[in-house]
């Protein structure tokens, strides 16, 4: 089947692109969730940057109205994927999940999907997966700490951000851009083992399943960046 645009990665950025492009658009996503860069990368983000586009504002309003985001910027990452799915339906973003790109050659994309190997045709194949920014990427996790309230800041090797739920914190370990995932997990656990006294009684609940890259301050801003990119493409 032929598409005007095929986007690789149902990231918030990629979904924002798809929402802004005209014609027949398909998004290919290796995982099973939209907004995978934030939902699986466990980046709490920061929310001070103002939004100017309707798609991004709509998504932030959905987070606020479902109490997944507080007015002071505390975020519940677990709520992102279902709200992102609803947003994608509202903006007619078509996504094929569990789809791995095998090759791209002369406008032909070979993929492996849940229904087997197949090919798509397009003149515009866009990679919207996260990339290294400022020579850093991050291994992330979620911790519980109910002994006291901790402000956002640097604690030993980690950057700590309070979550929406009381006692819940997101932590990020900065890593070199060349670090591979198996080594990153080992580095994360080693850093956790030598955490400072302020985090001694914190309980590590889980680790993100992929790197976070900090390409945007928050998911709504990432949607906006992708949407604005698509507007520029259509104006050319």
Confidence of residue 131 (pLDDT cuts 50, 70, 90): confident
User: Which CATH superfamily is 2-129+216-235 part of?
Assistant: FAD/NAD(P)-binding domain (3.50.50.60)
106 or 133, which is more confident: 106
- 161-199 pLDDT tens trace: 999 999 999 999 999 999 999 999 999 999 999 999 999
The per-residue pLDDT for 236 is 60
pLDDT(116) > 90: yes
Residues paired with 144 in a beta bridge: 168, 203
pLDDT(235) > 70: no
- 191-219 pLDDT tens trace: 999 999 999 999 999 999 999 998 899 99
Structure tokens at 206: 């889980």
Phi, psi for 179 (deg, rounded to 5)? -65, 135
Residues paired with 126 in a beta bridge: 7
The per-residue pLDDT for 113 is 96
Q: How far apart are the first and last CA of the chain?
A: 26
Tell me the C-alpha to C-alpha distance, in Å, between residue 94 and each of 9, 33, 81, 208: 12, 13, 15, 26
Q: What residue segments make up the domains of the chain, in order of their start?
A: 2-129+216-235, 136-207
pTM of the predicted model, to two decimals? 0.94
- 32-77 pLDDT tens trace: 999 999 999 988 889 998 999 999 999 999 999 999 999 999 999 9
């Amino acid at each position: 089947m032929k598409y005007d645009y095929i986007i690789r990665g149902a990231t918030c950025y990629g979904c924002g692109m798809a929402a802004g492009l005209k014609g027949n658009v398909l998004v290919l996503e290796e995982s099973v969730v939209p907004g995978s860069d934030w939902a699986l990368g466990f980046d709490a983000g920061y929310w001070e940057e103002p939004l100017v586009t309707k798609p991004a504002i709509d998504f932030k309003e959905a987070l606020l109205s479902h109490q997944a985001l507080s007015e002071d910027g505390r975020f519940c990452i677990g709520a992102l994927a279902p709200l992102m799915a609803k947003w994608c339906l509202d903006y007619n973003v078509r996504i094929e999940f569990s789809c791995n790109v095998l090759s791209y050659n002369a406008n032909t994309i070979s993929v492996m999907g849940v229904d087997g190997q197949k090919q798509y045709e397009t003149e515009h194949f866009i990679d919207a997966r996260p990339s290294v920014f400022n020579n850093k990427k991050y291994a992330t996790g979620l911790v519980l700490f109910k002994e006291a309230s901790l402000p956002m800041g640097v604690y030993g090797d980690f950057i700590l951000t309070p979550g929406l739920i009381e006692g819940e914190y997101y932590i990020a370990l900065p890593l070199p851009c060349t670090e591979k995932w198996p080594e990153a997990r080992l580095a994360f656990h080693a850093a956790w083992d030598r955490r400072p006294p302020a985090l001694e009684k914190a309980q590590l609940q889980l680790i993100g399943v992929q790197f976070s890259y900090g390409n945007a301050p928050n998911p709504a801003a990432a949607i906006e960046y992708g949407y604005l990119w698509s507007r520029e493409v259509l104006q050319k």
